Amino acid sequence: MKLLRHRRTRQSAKVALRVSLSLASIYAFLIGQALITKKRVGTTSEVPPDSGTVYGIDFPGEAIRLLVLGDSTAVGYGMKKAEDTPTALIADSLSYVLDTPVNARSAAVVGAQSKDLINQINAAADHRPQIAVILVGANDIRHQVRPSTSAERLATAIRALRAEDCEVIVGTCPDLGTIKLILPPLRTVVRHWSRRLAKAQTVAAVEAGARVVSVGDLLGPLYLKLGEGFFGDDRYHPSKAGYAHVSSFLVAAAVASWRARDHEEAHADLHESIMSVNAAAIEASEHAGTEVVRKGRLARVLPGRSAN
């Protein structure tokens, strides 16, 4: 009997060792793919021109103060003209839709993670933003930050802005699995990571008082249409058309949030759904462009809409 137990123990140990080695091999392979992808990604030393200025100066009234926060996507990495960056695109559209000047500033930084948002907010404290747009998440995945940790850091930043009576729009982590430069099976893995983070971001952001836009694979259909023209010089970040596409959904959310603040929303959207925040996060992660905003203990879910 003791001999049988000993054999079983040895067999179990061998199985455990094989499983550990297999997992280690898979992890090493994925890390190797990640390094190869990093080498394949082109780079550009050019930084987009400063897009901080007043847009819609011909409109009457006091300018709305807009602040853009986040990572390279928020910066508009790869753009050579200020007018093509998300800050300019959002501010310009807001001014025309709301018929008012918009004083815009960007505090976004290339390579930023969710943990950097508070520093960005503090750096632009003198701007006293009334609307803030946040695009962040891709670098949290790159640095393997736990979704729960990343989401809580995002929520902390949102609460700081809301405490100053600022409307907050969050564009969730994009679906990195849509980037063709990332090869399988790493592409499948990062798609899973992206969606997990986007769900966590949605729940945390809505509960903190933000309006959320599911960026997801918003850019996927545009890639199919434009092909390589979808990418910028680094073959990783969006092109001018890509930034404009994402910005249009953020503008629509910002307009809705501002009008709700001023009680200008006459009635509920006929296509909206009311559900739990968790259910809303799942719904948004599966349908790019979806907006989620808190409604009491529940959440309003609106189908994707752009300002175009």
Domains and CATH numbers, the chain: 54-302 (3.40.50.1110)
| Residue 211 three-state SS | strand
User: Residue 212: what pLDDT?
Assistant: 94
User: Residue 24: what pLDDT?
Assistant: 36
> Which residue from 135, 84, 149 is spatially nearest to 253, judged by alpha carbons?
135
User: Residue 30: what pLDDT?
Assistant: 40
pLDDT single digits (tens) 152-172? 999 999 999 999 999 999 999
Residues in the chain predicted with pLDDT less than 50, given as ranges, are: 3-4, 13-42, 264-268, 270
User: Residue 278: what pLDDT?
Assistant: 81
User: Residue 133: what pLDDT?
Assistant: 99
Would you state the structure tokens that stand for residue 201, as one six-digit string? Answer: 């971001």
User: Residue 266: what pLDDT?
Assistant: 41
The alpha carbon of 158 is separated from its chain's Cα centroid by a whole number of angstroms, namely 14
Please state the φ and ψ torsions of residue 300, each to the nearest 5 degrees. -90, 135
Would you state the structure tokens that stand for residue 205, as one six-digit string? Answer: 């952001």
CA 112 vs CA 23, 72, 115, 266: distances in Å: 30, 7, 8, 38
Task: Kindly list the catalytic residues.
Answer: 72, 234, 237
Instruction: State pTM to two decimals.
Output: 0.81
User: Residue 200: what pLDDT?
Assistant: 96
